């Protein structure tokens, strides 16, 4: 039996072709699929194709390919026929069928599926980040965060963090309390990625009383008293002055409104910086 080698050729990363090859190899008694496979990604010129042809011939390989650029694909197919290299196109026929059925011309852009995947994984990463660094649990998140939200309790820091995470921003939120010193790292990071959240004292009083009732606690607790709220807001303002970041009043804003305001500010800072 001739030694088996499968060369995965692609103008992107080659994952699609490799997955098809792996699924096929699973139907046979192959001890090490990894040793059988040769991946040849990011083919973008005739010279690269010629190099791939040499590798395929040297290994007596079957070529499994996913090429979407018509000119590169045509050149590769012609060269493989000339060199008598066994080959299979795992996307071509389906692309042609879809083009006919949809009455559309394909984009012919390599790697689009991986761009979508990357977008998805960035979102998941941001969501996990928001959970991990909620309420200032780990100060190491300050340096890694795209946005740092600062505010007293019940200023929508957590829901804002999650909303922004779905927009692929890594967000850490830091609660401010008079009895607790803010982490020194907060004063060392770029203040342009920090945003303070403030709320009307009367509205905060109402929100906190409702929260205490939901928890089955006395709504007259210190947490919801006007004097306590005034103390917290005054302390918050001092902290924000030290940091030197903007403040958004969330009193009468929906989460989406506040988030859009934050995004506009952060993106503008990036444009200025970049």
Binding-site positions for ADP:
151-158
Contact between residue 65 and residue 17 where contact means Cβ atoms under 8 Å apart? yes
DSSP string spanning 173-186? EEE--TTSPPPGGG
Contact between residue 236 and residue 196 where contact means Cβ atoms under 8 Å apart? yes
Helix 255-273 × helix 157-165 angle, to 10° = 60
Report d(CA 163, CA 150) in Å as an integer: 16
Contact between residue 138 and residue 160 where contact means Cβ atoms under 8 Å apart? no
Return the exposure string of 74-85: e unless at least 16 CB atoms fall within 10 Å of the residue's CB, then b: ebbbebbeeeeb
CB contact set of 104 (below 8 Å; sequence gap of 6+): 98
Report d(CA 247, CA 268) in Å as an integer: 15
Query: 196's torsion region: left (phi>0), alpha (psi -120 to 50) or beta?
Result: beta
Query: 111's torsion region: left (phi>0), alpha (psi -120 to 50) or beta?
Result: left
Q: Residue ranges for the binding site?
A: 151-158
Contact between residue 92 and residue 116 where contact means Cβ atoms under 8 Å apart? no
Which residue shows structure tokens 């001092």? Answer: 238
């Amino acid at each position: 039996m001739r030694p088996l080698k499968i060369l995965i050729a692609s103008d992107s990363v080659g994952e699609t072709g490799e997955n098809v090859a792996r699924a096929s190899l699973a139907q046979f008694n192959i001890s090490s699929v990894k040793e059988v496979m040769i991946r040849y990604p990011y083919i973008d010129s005739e010279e690269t194709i010629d190099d791939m042809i040499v590798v395929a011939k040297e290994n007596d390989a079957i070529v499994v390919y996913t090429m979407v650029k018509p000119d590169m694909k045509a050149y590769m197919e012609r060269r493989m026929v000339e060199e008598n290299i066994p080959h299979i196109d795992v996307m071509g026929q389906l692309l042609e069928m879809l083009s006919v059925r949809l009455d559309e011309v394909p984009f012919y852009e390599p790697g689009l599926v991986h761009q979508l995947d990357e977008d998805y994984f960035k979102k998941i990463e941001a969501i996990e980040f928001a959970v991990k660094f909620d309420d200032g649990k780990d100060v190491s998140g300050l340096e890694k965060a795209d946005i740092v939200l600062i505010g007293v309790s019940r200023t929508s820091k957590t829901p804002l963090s999650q909303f922004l995470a779905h927009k692929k921003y890594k967000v850490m939120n830091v609660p401010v309390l008079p009895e607790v010193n803010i982490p020194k790292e907060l004063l060392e990071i770029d203040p342009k990625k920090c945003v303070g959240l403030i709320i009307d004292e009367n509205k905060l009083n109402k929100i906190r009383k409702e929260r205490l009732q939901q928890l089955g606690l006395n709504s007259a607790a210190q947490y919801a008293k006007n004097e306590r709220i005034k103390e917290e807001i005054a302390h918050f303002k001092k902290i924000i002055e030290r940091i030197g970041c903007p403040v958004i009043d969330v009193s009468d804003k929906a989460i989406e409104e506040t988030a859009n305001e934050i995004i506009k500010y952060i993106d503008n800072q990036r444009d200025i910086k970049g």
